[in-house]
Structure 1
Amino acid sequence: MLIMDAVLENYDVTGFALWPVADPPADHLLVLSGRLSMQERGTVMAVLTNYNNSDEPVSARSLQNGTWQIRQLLSADRVIAPGGIRIQDTSTGVTAPPGCCFGLENWRDWLDWQNGEEPWLGHDPTPRAERNDTTIRLWPDTELPDGLPIELPLARLPHLLSSVRTQLVAFLDSVEEWATRYAPSLGDALVAKLDKDLAITAPLRGHQS
């Protein structure tokens, strides 16, 4: 069975104290969905605000204000989210995590496979992929060339990406709930910003929602 998830890297929350955050999972990859606890949603927002904040100097009082953090995120030209698409084959136990610098904001690039193109999937780990007329063969890392690949039928790709989109839409709803508690005046703007910059609710090309 193939499972595809949108995941966020969460190495960047040690010592964060503006709102509650959760302990990171062992692989430091948090699946974005509507199932996140309130603390896990706090972790996501801590990662996004830390990752996208400008270098503009601020007062100590401002640094104690979570609303300021959210306003900084809203002012970013485009929200960048460390992470991306993780795909797992439960029948073989092979997992291909997102490569560094791919970015969750680029998750729709996986659709390029349908057009005969090969999207860049990041580095460290650096996935290696081969495509024929019907299948993508994906190795998790070119540093481990002898491992089993994940066999991804092209015909299943739209369905798998649609499931990712469904999870992200549910995640967006959970962000709205989180914002009512920690940034109530900015909730609508926050949801709209994440939706636009992470390309969440727009229909997928070539797939009916």
Structure 2
Amino acid sequence: MLHSLLTGLATGLTLIVAIGAQNAFVLRQGLVRQYVGPVVAVCAVSDLVLILAGVSGIGTVVEQAPWVLDVVRWLGVAFLTWYGLSSLLRARRPQPLEAARAGAPTLRRAVGTAVALTWLNPHVYLDTVLLLGSIATAEGDGRWWFAVGACAASLLWFTTLGYGARFAQRLFATAGAWRVLDVLIGLTMLGIALNLALG
């Protein structure tokens, strides 16, 4: 039990801590301290659903319908390209922290962006549903403890990233720091979009 739980926790953290579109958005929302709870909840709950789906064996269904991942992939390419270009355009007119807060998206838009960045990324299905699902199967009777560990990793990571971002606020007190962040986010999004487009 404990071994499966810790294996799930370690595997979940390994997969989720990488720089990606979802993490970049959660970080930005955490820095402006707006709608952090709803954004963290959307990302974490989505991960929980996908992890449990993978552990319960849904991954075999995804493998049998590869066209679904193709549709998600191209929707993801379009969304990530738009988001990346928006970040680069925002970097042309960087604002200090207070102004960035004033220009933050509405709750509906923030939640919608979190949903899109999660569910329109085919890597989420490959990593969370297929990879975690197959590793969990190897745990045999401990696969649900593995799932608990992986779910805990997701909750821990998104909560830490979203609410921990406030400790980096001094770094982002100037417009120049926001320019760097927006350029990095923009390039990350475009890089992921290109990677998805190339398959």
TM-score greater than 0.5 by the shorter chain: no
Greater strand proportion: 1
Greater helix proportion: 2
Which structure would you say has the larger RCO, counting Cα contacts within 8 Å and 6 or more residues apart?
A: 2
